[in-house]
Structure 1
Amino acid sequence: MTFVQEPSQPLRVAVVGTGQIARFAHLPAVRSVGAQLELVAAVDVDESVAKEFATSFGAGAAFTDVATMLDAVRPDLVLVCTPPAWHAEVVVATVRAGAWAFCEKPPTASLAELDRIAAAEAAGGGRAEFVFQWRTGSAAEHVRRLIADGTLGRALVAMVSTTWYRDAAYYEAPWRGRWETEIGGATAGQGIHAIDLLLSLLGPWRTVTAVADTLERAIEVEDTSMAIVRFESGALASLVTSVLCPREDSAVRIDLQDATVELRQHSGDGSGWTVVPRPGLGDDRLAAAGPVPHDVPASHGSQLRRLVDDLRAGRAPATGVGQVRPTVELLAALYKSAASGRPVRAGEIGPDDPYYASMHGGRGTVSTG
């Protein structure tokens, strides 16, 4: 069962993990939804931090244990803002308690953990939605329709780059840069935004061939990766991810038969989409594509508002386990390809594969070198 209240009453919201992502992304999202949500609890392993958060942001009671909070407060919705290694544990507990989870990226540390969440949902109770806010907003939805409808022809080539900069101080946080706690490096932590957006636009992928390495930072995980992905549609895509780039940029470019659609941004609000037609494309075809709208930005708030609507209406979450599994599987396959030096097929990584249980496949390395 779920603990959803009547539509006239706010949904009771708990925050698990009270670090920067909770304070600077999830709390503004909660505020943007307004009176439909009420903060009732904060959980952090550091009791003083949990109490400070609860007091500063009006989050009600403070806890150091998720199970105790779920039993005492019985929230409707839990914002999962812990380091990645604890995502699955918190989400499974939340779902089993009958609440919904809104979980930060990367969704889980492995395909095995994601399947464990699916099993918890199937047993009855709550549901999980995963934060991939770049999928949201009016611009991304418009581009997704253009591609799905074939308005500008089929996709042929795509290029995705996440070239950001994270200095050595960034990795001083004890959970960053380690397989055990961050579960991956630049690809899983930074590149995943653009990679997931691409998959949501182009559909099922078929194979991935990748290289990954730690070129500069003193960390266990990769600071750079490159990959070639072939999609079931036949389209080819290149993925470049690095945290060693002083001039920061993000780009998702898709060359269709009749136009190039491209997103360039670093803010993440989806306002940088453009459409460039091929030479000679008729005005009627271009008019059919329409201007790219930017009235609703891509944001945590946009995704959270949609989640609240789905929860209220009893609908399945739009970015649930089934929708994000291709992204988690591609991450695992990318790491496997980088370590093995060969292409990896979709569906290849099953329960008997070491990359099913962890992104490093038990090797603790990111490359064949």
Structure 2
Amino acid sequence: MTKKLRVGVIGAGIASRHLIGYDWNKDLFDVPVLCSLDEERGRELCQKHGIGEYTQNVDDLFVRNDLDIIDISTPPDSHFELCKKGIESGKHVICEKPLFGSIADVDEMSRIVARSGGKKLMPIFQYRYGSGLQKLKLLIELGLTGRPFLTTIETHWWRGPAYYEVPWRGKWKSELGGGLLGHAIHAHDMLNYVHGACAEVFAYGATLVNKIEVEDTMALSVKMQNGSLAVLSMTLGSRKEISRLRFCFHDLVAESILEPYTMGRDPWSFIAGTEEHQKRVDEALAGYEVKEDGYTRQFELFHQAIVEDKEPPVTLQDARNSLELVTAAYHSQRTGKPTPLPITAEHPLYHSWLPDEERRMAASA
């Protein structure tokens, strides 16, 4: 019989999508309690998803002995402390993106998890599990793509003034960054998921669309550790919203759909260089086993990791790779120079990329 894991959810915004993922995995998860400071939204979610308990006191969840997992879907500046409390209270943790506000926080959390006696922390990168991207991963594993040359990723969305009426958005202190961190992070995770870690970043960034503190438009040139190159563009000023990922390999080109929020899903195109190789690619794709995607699939794999005591499907190292790209881009934007990776403890933005914190650290050095 499959072991059901009990989840306490914190948040009532993006948490609504997490709850759909749990609903699709009812044989694996039970959600007995939800915590939210927004009582109206919190109680509405409890009623919609059959959650028996609602609370506004987050500490209620950490002291309970009947929860296996804490799911954190709160504003970014609260993530580290909630993750720390979750792990140290003896629970596994799921946390929304962006995970933390610095590489130092990721490294400290790795140490906290290491001494927890087997508790697992899984960052959220649900876009990985779209069938289109998974098919590309399959072709790479089968050796059918050849050497990588160039990746281009466009995250061109629209966010007008109304979006920033939510008090914590658009501010360095609470949102921790702009479109690069909070919006393009999923597509850029796909770059790392396919090609591994970055080696060097050069970036231009600007605030062009809205009167906010953080960036809403950026252009990045990236060298990957595997030798390939990437060009990444992000804007929150695109009246036609698209997301596009295009991977050029020696033996084929893989290209995503343009749907802005589910670009990992089918139908992707996989175009080979010769008719003979196209046939091999098509035969391999014909054998692809379709699975659930998004949160549903990531939660399913996390259940498996807990039950079998394996590494989570998305790891702290994955989150580190993603946040290293962000850190390097902010550093390059401010210095006007390419920024090499990895980001080590000696880097000026290791402890924080927030402008005020950066200045404070420099003054105390």
Assess same fold via TM > 0.5.
yes
- Distance, in Å, in 2 between the alignment partners of 1:332 and 1:283 is 39
Equivalent AA in structure 1 for residue 110 of structure 2? A
Give per-residue Cα distances to partners, 1:34-66, cap 9 Å, x unaligned. Answer: 132111211123456545544453323333333
**50 and 122 in structure 1: CA distance in 2 versus 1, 3 angstrom threshold:** same
Structure-2 change in CA distance of 1:288 and 1:328 (3 Å): same
Q: What is the deviation of 1:181? A: 0.9
Q: What letter matches 1:266 in structure 2? A: P
- Identity within the alignment, %: 28
The residue aligned with 1:4 is none
Equivalent residue, structure 1, for 2:160: 167
Counterpart of 1:358 (choices 348, 352, 363) is 352
Task: Verify: 1:344 aligned to 2:339, yes or no.
Answer: yes
Contact 1:258 1:281 in 2 (8 A): no
- Shift in CA distance, 152/281, structure 1 to aligned 2, threshold 3 Å: farther
Matched, 1:100 2:92: yes
Q: Distance in 1 between matches of 2:278 and 2:73?
A: 47
TM superposition shift of 1:190: 1.0
Change over 3 Å in CA distance of 1:72–1:80 after alignment to 2: same
Q: Distance in 1 between matches of 2:310 and 2:125?
A: 18
Separation (CA, whole Å) in 2 of partners of 1:364 and 1:272: 43
Q: Does 118-127 or 245-254 show the bigger shift?
A: 118-127
Partner of 1:80: 72
How far has the Cα of 1:171 moved from its partner? 0.9
> Distance in 1 between the 2:299 and 2:108 partners?
23
Specify the SS of the correspondent of 2:168: coil
TM-score under structure 2 length normalisation? 0.90
Residue in 2 aligned with 1:3?
none
Is 1:42 equivalent to 2:34 in the alignment?
yes
- Give the counterpart letter for 1:78 in structure 2: I
Q: Superposition pairs for residues 181-220 of structure 1, below 5 Å?
A: 181-220=174-213
**Contact 1:160–1:251, Cα closer than 8 Å, also in 2:** yes
**Residue equivalent to 1:327:** 322
CA distance in structure 2 between the partners assigned to 1:249 and 1:170 by the alignment: 18
Aligned to 1:135: 128
* DSSP-derived class of the 1:158 partner: strand
Q: Secondary structure at the residue paired with 1:180? A: helix
Aligned to 1:118: 110
Q: Is 1:15 matched up with 2:19? A: no
Which amino acid counterpart does residue 241 of structure 1 have in structure 2?
A: M
1:177-225 CA-partner distances (Å, limit 9, x unpaired): 1111111111111111110011100112110100111012011010101
Structure 2 gaps of 5+ residues are: 360-365
CA contact (8 A) 2:7 2:29 kept: yes
Gaps spanning 5+ residues in structure 1: where? 1-6
Bigger Cα displacement from structure 2, 61-70 vs 301-310: 61-70
| C-alpha distance in structure 2 between counterparts of 1:256 and 1:48, whole Å | 50
**Distance in 2 of aligned mates of 1:49 and 1:294:** 37
Separation (CA, whole Å) in 1 of partners of 2:156 and 2:200: 23
**Segment of structure 1 superposing worse, 170-179 or 266-275:** 266-275
Cα distance in 1 for residues equivalent to 2:155 and 2:31: 34
With over 3 angstroms needed to count, the CA separation of the structure-2 counterparts of 1:291 and 1:225, relative to structure 1, is farther
The CA distance in 2 between the partners of 1:363 and 1:70, in whole Å, is 30
Alignment of 1:263-274 (within 5 A): 263-264=256-257, 265-268=259-262, 270-274=265-269
Q: Deviations 1:323-351 (Å, cap 9, x if unpaired)?
A: 2211111111111111111111112x333
Instruction: Say if 2:298 and 2:313, in contact at 8 Å, map to a contact too.
Output: no
Aligned residues between the structures: 356
Query: What's the counterpart of residue 26 of structure 1?
Result: 18
